Amino acid sequence: MKKYGLIGYPLTHSFSKKYFSEKFEREGKRDCQYELYEIPEINQLPGLIASEKDLVGLNVTIPYKEKVIPFLDRLDPSCRAIGAVNCIKIREGQLVGFNTDYFGFKESLEKWLGKERPKALVLGTGGASKAVAEVLKDLGMDFLKVSRNAGIGDSVITYEQLYADKRILKDHLLIINTTPRGTYPNTGSMPDIPMDGLGNGHRVYDLVYNPEETLFMRAAAERGAATKNGMEMLHLQAEAAWNIWN
């Protein structure tokens, strides 16, 4: 039996088990199994690996995309540039980290934008934002990250600055939410940006996929913005992980 799984905490919002279980059944892979491994602390990973001898691949989600790196033996070169891991390949006791968020987001974004390359605001500075930022760099797109905390790096502004200077939102027509705000079960929350600054020239890409339409997406659409959720990216990154594992 080949085992695959997802580590994170909590895992109530995860689609991975359903996605891969259906994939295994559809493709007749009876020797494959996918499990959820909800670990409250990342230092429980070595014990999990030791106890699950059949594990050959793991997905990594919030809050461990960065915290997992010290527990790995190697990083894929492109993953090292991003500084976050969401996929681990396990072979002969070696754990190798990859980032399939990058591939999933890049393919999805290019399909959505076509030849457009607007300036972007990336909401959040966590693991997912690192993959998003690397994609924007590789596509030659100008962007700013938006954080709750001041002074955490270059090209980072605070949400307060967005409210203070309305030109920022006017000049950045692509808004990418990489935070978990609005994810089930906390569907009543959304990123705190000046929504009255959005219009029909804006695009809002919310990496949240559950629910399919977040409160943020709905509020943006009411102001004329085009919106997209993270489901396509999720499918693309899952298939990229499968290709890495196999």
CA dihedral sign of residues 156, 160, 162, 167: negative
* Residue type (1 letter), 181: R
Catalytic residue, from 3, 23, 65, 119: name it.
Answer: 65
Q: How many CB atoms lie within 10 A of CB 4?
A: 23
3-state secondary structure of 191: coil
Q: 106: closest CA among 241, 232, 244, 245?
A: 232
Q: 146: closest CA among 192, 188, 112, 184?
A: 192
Buried residues in 14-47 as b, exposed as e (16+ CB within 10 A): bebbebbeeebeeeeeeebbbeebeeeebeebee
User: Is 65 among the catalytic positions?
Assistant: yes
In angstroms, how far is CA 170 from the centroid of its own chain? 25
3-state secondary structure of 90: strand
Residue 119 CA to residue 173 CA, distance in Å, equals: 6
End-to-end CA distance of the chain: 14
* Residue type (1 letter), 142: D
Where in the sequence numbering do the catalytic residues fall? 65
